[in-house]
Every structure is written in structure tokens, then in C-alpha cells.
Amino acid sequence: MYKLHGDDKPKKSKKKEKRMSMREVMELMGIRRDTYKRVRGAIRRK
């Protein structure tokens, strides 16, 4: 009558995903960028 687990769908093959290093993740999030600050009208790198 009714299926309990829904196993009638075809299984999708899992692709191996490339693991990103911590440095690559930080670069994507913008953490490793230089920070700039305005000092007496001039923009300086912190």
C-alpha cells in the first residue's frame, strides 16, 4: 500500500568535493585583506 521510507527514488552518485584549506576559506571571506584607516585626511594601511 504505502511505502514507509521512500526508497523508490534513484540514488544520486556523490561527487568527491575538493576540500578547501583554511587559508583559501579566509581569502574568500575577505579576512586576509589589508585594512585601511583615515589619519588626518590621508588613508593609511593598518
The pLDDT assigned to 30 comes to 81
Under 8 Å between Cβ of 33 and 45: no
* Domain range summary for the chain, segments of one domain joined by +: 20-46
C-alpha cell at 12: 544520486
* Residues 18-37 pLDDT 10s: 888 888 888 888 887 788 89
Helix (H) or strand (E) holding 43: strand 42-45
Q: Look at the pTM and tell me if it is higher than 0.95.
A: no
